[in-house]
Chain A
Amino acid sequence: MNASDLAPTYDLAVIGGGPAGLAAASLAARAGLSTVLFDENPGIGGQIYRGITSTPVTDRTILGEDYWAGAELAAEAKTSGALIVGGATVWSLDPQRIVGVSIGGKARLIEARRVIIATGAQERPFPVPGWTLPGVMTAGGAQTALKAQGLLPAGRTVIAGTGPLLWLLAAQILRAGGKIEAILDTTPRANWLRALPHLPDFVLSPYFAKGLKLLREVRAKAPVVRADRIEAVGTERLSEVRFGRGDGDRRIAADLLLLHQGIVPNVNLAIAAGVAHEWNERQLCFQPVLDPDFGSSVPGIAVAGDGAGIAGGTAAAERGRIAAIAAVCALKPQATVPDPQTVRQRLQREEMGRAFLDWLNRPAERFRQPEGDTLVCRCEEVTAQQVHDMAAMGCEGPNQMKAFLRCGMGPCQGRLCGLTVTELIAQQRDTTPAEVGYYRLRPPVKPITLAELASLPISEIERKAVER
């Protein structure tokens, strides 16, 4: 697929090929909308179903049945008539729904009558001392390597943090025959207080039985230690992990440290498109302001899946369907679509138990608001102390902070420091993250080369506009 093969206009452009994007594109194409789906990865599936059509992991018990459920979604999308383009990086989306996309080093601008942003989630920053050392990775990264390439951690592996993915990854590594030296559980005990009122809903949800089974499976094979301090130590690469509770100080030699403290919406494209966002205090992240059909503040642009607020993969697919039904009803009212009420009921069922999981796995303040020399911005190597000092001097927000320290101005464009900088400023200035706000993000939201920009087709009118 070349950029030049794209049509100039589509009824619907879906950005992201995870569960939300696949379900949305599939439903819309089947209802007769000309639909294109872009994903920057070589294959579809998003992160949760990463490598679903190509994984070399053939033993189905390793990744588990919840993973393989993605195969159906992928097959449905492939036969739906939607044009699915892998290796396609969307670097721009404007309120007029002009989509800037690069494929194989060539860029194109296409128009879409409707857009569904399904860019999903990323892992929450986990700024502990030494988190930039080679040998330290995210748990999600290790899981991606397992799903997509069948890579298993070798050597001494330590997993640290909180949240369901941490336990799922541990189970998958163990099932595949891997070894885990220790799991450092950073879930604050006090979280139970706020989680307990939501326990009844959780018990009734599909997560309950699965979660218990997973915990039992992992605890039987790997030592689990509670920790409220974690430090990755090494000079050129990780050599040991220091951790402890209270005054305790323990060390464990390690080759690989996998960090995880939950996932947060991947907001860059939506914010750059002008979609209004709000602070979610329970999930401690920014999420788009959406109507019941997942329509955003920008007409014609919806945000579905975990990008709309974290709810998990199966909920993401239902959200994608709801957003797609809205797009079909707006563009082709006579088309047949599934009954939206049925989809909403399924979504409600999938979202049950989420409040309990969110409150229980809410990461501790000290792992979200680092101190001293701990790097906050990995790209520009800005420390927590620098951000603290600047906020104390009167710097009011993350955008001013960029001007002073360059945090958020490296290649990741704030993805790995945005939430930390917002929270640190709020803490220092005794206000709320909602009040402080987030980085102002502008296209291109992914780096593109000048050659790619120069490859954009030019019309005769455009050429005449600049020619003398």
Chain B
Amino acid sequence: MFKRLAEAGAPVAITVDGKAISARAGDTVAAALLVAGIDHCRTTPVTGAPRAPYCLMGVCFDCLVTVDGVGSRQGCLVPVREGMTIETQLGKREAGR
């Protein structure tokens, strides 16, 4: 869906659902997911429909993901960090996750 214009920025290693992904310094979590071709980052609590980042400016909340164990973070507002663990969210966020 998206490609990088230039491979600028230092590589940043993150994992998404346990899979290693190379992001770039300056990426937000949502941007890293988009460019890695991950087709959805959560499913909805009501019908389980897949959702992907929509607005990338902090208003739609469709890019909610679990970042380093904290659920429902807005992926478009969180910069990637070396070693960051990202999990997609399935339906309702389960207690203790």
Contacts and interface: CB of A to CB of B under 8 A. Distances in A.
Interface residues of B, number: 40
Interface of B is mostly: loop
Contact of A149 (B26, B57, B60): B26
B70 A449 contact: yes
A47 interface: yes
Q: How large is the interface on A (under 10, 10 to 19, 20 to 34, 35 or more residues)?
A: 35 or more
Interface in A43-94: 47, 51, 54, 56-58, 62, 87, 89
B40 A237 contact: yes
B51 to A, nearest CB: 7
Interface string A115-159: 000000011000000001111111011101110111111110000
B27 interface: yes
Contact of B54 (A40, A87, A137): A137
A303 interface: no
Contacts of B26: 51, 54, 56, 148-149
A432 interface: no
A236 B51 CA distance: 9
A56 B39 contact: no
Contacts, number: 135
Interface of B: 1-6, 8-9, 24, 26-28, 31, 34-35, 39-40, 44, 46-47, 49-62, 64, 70, 72, 76-77, 79
A381 interface: yes
A42 interface: yes
B54 to A, nearest CB: 5
Contact of A412 (B9, B56, B59): B59
A266 B50 CA distance: 26
Contact of A411 (B54, B70, B72): B72
A145 B61 contact: no
Nearest to B46: A381
A134 B40 contact: yes
Given A145-B2, A148-B26, A154-B3, 5 more contacts: A56-B8, A56-B9, A144-B76, A152-B3, A153-B2
B34 A151 contact: yes
Contacts of A135: 1, 39, 52
B2 A412 contact: no
